[in-house]
Structure formats: C-alpha cells, structure tokens
Amino acid sequence: MTERLSGAVIQVEANLDGQSRTASLELRKDFERESESTHEFVVGPVGEIGARVLNLVTNSDSRLRQPYVIDAGGGRVAYDLRATLSETPHNGSYLQMGDTGDPDHLTATDATGADARTQADVAQRWLSQSTIDSVNPATLHIGHYHDGTYTDSGEAGLFGSPLDVYVANTRVIMSSEESSTVDFNVTLVPVATLANALDAAAQLG
C-alpha cells in the first residue's frame, strides 16, 4: 500500500551554533500548495518563417502556426507552499519546527510547541542561514514524494522518496501582535544534486 502525505515537511541540514544539525519543519495546518512547471527549449518555438523553411528542407506538410521545438529537459518546477503556524497541537500532537521536536524545551534551533512568532523566527533562521544548493539540498516530503518517515503507517508514497530542493524565497505574514497564528509561505524548487559526484571525486582524489 502507498500513502499520500498530508501537508509537507521540509528537512534542512546546516551547521548552526557550531554544530551540524538536521531540522524538520512540518507544514500541515491550513496547508495550501500551488505548483508551476516551466519549460525551456534548446530550439524553438521556431517562428513561422523558420517553420516554413524547415518544412521545405524536411519535405513536411506541417500546418501553419505549428512551430518546431526541441526539448532537452530545461526549465523548472516550483512548489509554492502556505501554512498556518500556531502553538496549538495538530491532530493531537505538536508539529515539529526544528531539530529536536521537543515541545517542552525551547532552543535557538527548535520551536516545537512554541508561540507562532517564535516558530516563524526559528524556521526562517534555518532556511536563511543554511547553505541550500545542489551540494547540500533541502529535502521536501510532499504528496506522493516521500519515504514514509512522516506518515503514521510508515508507508511510502507512489514515488518512494522525497525531492531534493532549494529555497527560492520565504515570506512570513504576522497580522497583529495579538494574533495567535502566523502565515508562513515558502517557494521550493527541485534541484539536481552534486553530492554524489563530489563524493566520487573526493574518493578518486
């Protein structure tokens, strides 16, 4: 059996406060997701004049206003995620917001169970002070892209593993000082990883 993950979890590895740490940032309350895919082509779309020339060269009877394109896999997919941060439990438990997941012990690297503003501050620290790129990507568990780590059943999604991503931007909205919730927005983009190539080069070196 496979299971689709509810909400999303971002895993980040970073050296914070002089120590290598791994955080889990759970986004599940009032969760919203928008995905956008863009394509970049090696050739094209070729204009009408170019298309007519190619039709002559290739002896094609392609119709007008049907351009030629060659897709080599360029472009990107972006995940725009939004969730509400609050100090109240979600489905009976506190959502992890840091590297320990302990709601009884607030630290500079974990705000699980803390007030919404503190959670936002800690989450932004992780995402802004970490070097997240092709060498050290963050990991996004979302939809069927997960390995079962964050499901009650332990069952993985259809695709069996999470996505390596980089952080394009984050945005935090605090409506007022009296509000007990914060809107947390983050845009994540899947990235090709260089970690395996660098490891192989180090072993050969």
Q: What is the pLDDT of residues 178-203, one digit of tens each?
A: 678 999 999 999 998 886 655 655 55
What is the DSSP secondary-structure string of 162-201? -EEEEEEEEEEE---TT-SEEEEEEEEEE----HHHHHHH
**197 in a structural domain:** yes
The region of weakest confidence among 57-66, 103-112, 141-150, 188-197 is: 57-66
Number of independent structural domains in the chain: 1
**Residue 126's domain spans which residues?**
5-40+74-204
**64 in a structural domain:** no
**61 in a structural domain:** no
**174 in a structural domain:** yes
Angle at the Cα of 146 from the Cα atoms of 3 and 142, rounded to 5 degrees? 90
**102 in a structural domain:** yes
3-class secondary-structure state, position 114: coil
**53 in a structural domain:** no
Q: What is the pLDDT of residues 38-66, one digit of tens each?
A: 877 766 665 544 555 545 445 555 555 56
Residue 147 has pLDDT above 50, yes or no: yes
For the whole model, what pTM was predicted?
0.84
**60 in a structural domain:** no
pLDDT at 117: 94
